[in-house]
Structure 1
Amino acid sequence: MPTHKRTQSSDAPAPPRRRMSPEDRKEAIVSAAVELFAENGFDGSTRDLARGAGITQPLLYRYFPSKESLIEAVYASVFLKSWDPAWDDILKDRDLSVRDRFQRFYSAYTETIFQPVWMRLWHFASLRDAEVYGWYREVVQEQILKPLVRERRIELGHNPGFAVSPAELEAPWLLHGGLLNYGLRQQVTGQADRDARDSMIRQALEMYMLFTAAQTPETGPTKDPR
């Protein structure tokens, strides 16, 4: 006599939802905030955020007492955690020329940040949220641009001891900002190309090297003229 395989009734109760730990819940809220802010900018409401995270607004405020505290968590998650400590070793490796060091660094750095969520959040921050952009700007100056200026001084035989002035940072910012805008264009057009990106990095670095080689400690922008 044929037997029939028993199937689960559609009326059977759904398995109980796993209770999230406070750490997992907080991480889920930050992930939902990243998605919302990347889509709508930092003007997105906490009501929409709570809905996206599948929680109530009061529960959201238990983990993040203000929208500002949530924005800080998003900034840390997207901008700070994207930094690889191994990059510090690349930038300090004086067995390589400054050009080669920063070529390796920017090749790895852009591989990490040329992603839709990162680029959209950076774009929104630069346009609408001066505080978030200020945080990002400070990190870039301290971890990338000032080391570039100091290491190039050493390579050129200039005195590396004096502080990096705002005027000296203008050319590195043109280099860095130009690469970010190149990445944004790649995202918009959907024409991401690793070889083309590496070529663009080489061109940007070459322009900086030529510019600094033409400077001297006496005529170069060692002091802020403003």
Structure 2
Amino acid sequence: MRFSDEMARKAQKPAKRPVRRRPETGSKTAPKRRNMRAADRERAIVDEAIRFFAEHGFEGQTRELAKRLGITHSAIYRHFPSKEALIERVYQEVYLSRWSPDWGPMIQDRSLSLEARLTRFYLDYVERVFEYNWVRIFVFSGMKSFGITGRYLDIVRREIIEPAAAELRHDLKLPDAKSRPLSERETELFWGLHGRIFYLAIRKFIYETPIPPDLDAIVRDAVQTFMDGAKTTMPKLLMSG
């Protein structure tokens, strides 16, 4: 084949088209949260806010929270009109959702001894509330004026402390709370028991010091010791009052 014929044959072949690369859209690196549904984004904000406030307290800025979420600062306020509204939602999620409606009736169930009732309550209470976010938000709230701690303790007083004090009177055959209202000293006895058990959570999640691994035994010991002392102390309180 002549050189000129070879050149002509090659010229007839279609030239190879250059490979075109698809333009980078950024979809691989764009935060997935941008495409979330409103309900899912609100859920994500609440979940991250719980962790954020547990770590930094309520002085933590929502602008920093937005950075952690990978969203704009204004996106938070499309779901919550204020920081206070977000904190209120955190209260509902962390505290009200963990409060068992069975606890109040449990304390007043006279088919069991009061010691057995208190033991069952505190064993369940420890299991539900001895958790990093719960304890730290509770303590941070107590240092700021958002009212979470006070509101929660009102529930504890109404559902647990005062009914337990009234039940102790019944056990000891003392005048009931209707004929003779509970005294502050009586309810303080039960706050002392409550505080003793909750202090284990403070040691673990605030002071970050070791606590006994067998919390069930510690709870049982605390309730038994309390009941032994209360049976002697309660009649004296009523006599002195």
TM bucket, shorter chain: 0.7 to 0.9
In the alignment, which residue of structure 2 is the partner of 1:95? 111
Which consecutive residues of structure 2, in runs of 5 or more, have no partner in the other structure? Answer: 1-21
Q: Within 5 A, what are the aligned runs for 1:136-147?
A: 136-147=152-163
Match of 2:200 among 168, 174, 182: 182
Deviation at 1:107, TM superposition (A): 0.5
- Measure the CA separation in 2 of the matches of 1:222 and 1:113: 36
Normalised to the residue count of structure 1, the TM-score between the two structures is: 0.81
Give the percent of matched residue pairs that are identical in Structure 1 and Structure 2.
35
Q: Is the 8 A contact 2:66 2:73 kept in 1?
A: yes
Give the corresponding residue for 2:65.
49
Assess if the C-alpha contact under 8 Å between 2:193 and 2:223 holds in 1: yes
Which residue of structure 2 lines up, in the alignment, with residue 157 of structure 1?
A: 173
In structure 1, distance between residues paired with 2:141 and 2:103 = 24
3-state SS, counterpart of residue 189 of structure 1: coil
CA distance in 2, matches of 1:222, 1:32: 52
Contact 2:107/2:121 (CA < 8 Å) preserved in 1? yes
Please, what TM-score do these two structures have when normalized by structure 2?
A: 0.76
Partner AA of 2:48 in structure 1: A
**Contact 1:122–1:133 under 8 Å retained in 2:** yes
The structure-2 alpha-carbon separation of the partners of 1:106 and 1:222, relative to structure 1 and needing over 3 Å to count, comes to farther
1:204 Cα offset (Å):
2.3
1:222 Cα offset (Å): 9.0
Q: Which residue of 2 aligns with 1:127?
A: 143
Residue 201 of structure 2 aligns with an amino acid whose one-letter code is G
Give the C-alpha shift of residue 218 in structure 1.
Answer: 7.2
Deviation at 1:82, TM superposition (A): 0.9
Between stretches 163-172 and 14-23, larger displacement belongs to 14-23
Question: What is the correspondence of 1:1-226 to structure 2 with a 5 Å cutoff?
Answer: 14=27, 17=32, 19-129=35-145, 131-158=147-174, 159-161=176-178, 162-187=180-205, 188-191=208-211, 193=213, 195=214, 197-215=215-233, 219-220=237-238
Q: Would you say the 8 A contact 2:108–2:164 is kept in 1?
A: no
What root-mean-square deviation, in Å, do the aligned CA atoms of Structure 1 and Structure 2 show?
A: 2.8
Give the Cα–Cα distance (whole angstroms) in 2 for the partners of residues 184 and 192 of structure 1. Answer: 13
Q: What are the superposed Cα offsets for residues 184-215 of structure 1, whole Å, 9 maximum, x if unpaired?
A: 2234235451x3x2222223223332333124
Paired residues, number: 213
Whole-angstrom CA distance in 2 between matches of 1:170 and 1:75: 26
- 1:191 and 1:218, CA in 2 relative to 1: closer, same or farther beyond 3 A? closer
* Letter of the 1:49 counterpart: L
1:200 and 1:129, CA in 2 relative to 1: closer, same or farther beyond 3 A?
farther
The whole-number CA distance in structure 1 between the counterparts of 2:104 and 2:216 is 20
AA aligned to 1:166 is E
| 1:42 Cα deviation after fit | 1.0
Q: Check 1:179–1:219 CA distance in 2 against 1; reply closer, same or farther (3 A cut).
A: closer
The structure having more radius of gyration, on CA atoms, is: 2
The unaligned stretches of length 5 or more in structure 1 are: 1-8
